[in-house]
Amino acid sequence: MIAARARTFLLAGGGTGGHLYPGLALAEAISARLASEPPAKFIYLCSDRAVDRAILTEAGVEMLATPARPVGLKPLALWRFARSWGPSVRLGRSLIARERAAGREVAMIATGGFVSAPMAQAARAERVPLTLLNLDAVPGRANRWIARFADRVFTSLPVAPQHARRVAKWTTVAPVVRASARLSMSQADARRALGLELDRPVLLVTGASLGAKSVNDFLAAFAASAPGLRGWQVLHQTGQGDWSALRAAYAAAGVAARVEPFVTGLGVWWRAADLAVSRAGAGSVAEAWGNGVPTIFLPYPYHRDEHQRHNTRVLVEAGAALVEKDHIAAPANLAHAGTVLAGLLASPDRRAALTRALAGLGPVDGADRIAAALIGS
């Protein structure tokens, strides 16, 4: 009998939690399916940003920061991208060679973004099996390029209609969510773990791993002007910046709030929540879906393609979420999204209807489906 050969999976992505967490989810799913074989080895090829280091260090996984830089139209950004391309590709190729020399089978999984493009080129040059996981409903430049030569291409959200003709070979799966972001604990247990009152509803606010100043400003203004929030408990992930000022704003308004710049165990927060206000990156949409939390999405307002708005389409069309324009200025957001938020805070029946619609969307089992396609049962 021939012994199974040890495998190394290189996961390429970074710069934001949205490109890292899906890799963690895939590693969990692949490991579960390889339980009876030699343990798989996972190496995360990430950016050198602090958020990557924080997330992957907390996860306790092997990582290698690459010199990759985002592509941009401005001369300096374009120069930085071009300057980082060759060293990044060479780093990927040398890592592949090292793992092969150790007698291991090597495969690469790219989760999109500027780190994934040079790593995908390294996989292409070394003839390593390459899988792309697209996360957004509107594929970015890197993903559209990688999809041309990847062996397998998956997307965790249906691609927006105007891009569908370009992605005929892509396979749509459910969202990819790591286990720690879809905990099986009860809402009461999550609140106990966080030291919250069990009988008071909870509002979760998150601008995702990098935060969102306009969302922070909106909630500060809302807390000061909406007495209905005082009956709630707030969990607010702010991103880096002057988060202490927001904490003071909640306190001045008499709102019980836990304000943190970054939370690695956000799954407990989602489980504790009755309602959320969130950016609409693919990861945030997946976590709201997977945890069944009614959410008002405020898509990032500066993307020309509005891909975060497209990310919400499945939920909005199913009556499972609401999407509002981020007007950036707090007074404008207060007049628009603030009215919607106040209505949901005051309506348990409306929140319950959104929760039922979320349950009807089905499980967020994209990681397991991709793992099954890559390695079988």
Tell me the CA distances in angstroms from 185 to 57, 191, 211, 278, 359, one per residue in order: 24, 10, 26, 22, 17
- The pLDDT profile of the chain, 377 residues, written as one tens digit per residue, is 345 678 999 999 988 888 898 999 999 999 988 876 788 899 999 999 988 998 899 889 999 999 999 887 788 888 898 999 999 999 999 999 999 999 999 999 999 889 999 999 999 999 999 999 999 888 888 898 999 999 999 999 888 766 656 655 789 999 998 877 777 889 999 999 999 999 999 999 998 877 889 999 999 999 999 888 999 999 999 987 777 889 999 999 999 999 998 887 788 999 999 999 999 998 899 999 999 999 999 999 987 778 899 999 999 999 999 999 999 999 999 999 999 999 999 999 999 999 999 999 999 999 999 999 998 75
| pLDDT given at position 163 | 61
- Give the integer Cα–Cα distance in Å for 223 and 233: 11
Question: Which run of H or of E encompasses 63?
Answer: strand 62-65
Contact 175, 290 (CB under 8 A): yes
Hey, what's the torsion of the CAs at 81, 85, 88, 92, to 10 degrees? 140
| pLDDT given at position 104 | 94
Domains and CATH numbers, the chain: 7-174+363-375 (3.40.50.2000), 181-359 (3.40.50.2000)
Beta strands 275-278; 202-206: pairing state: parallel
Contacts of 347 (CB under 8 A, 6+ apart): none
- Give the integer Cα–Cα distance in Å for 160 and 312: 11
Contacts of 250 (CB under 8 A, 6+ apart): 220, 223, 234, 236, 256, 257, 259
Contact 267, 247 (CB under 8 A): no
Contact 341, 312 (CB under 8 A): no
Handedness of CA 81, 84, 90, 96 (dihedral sign): negative
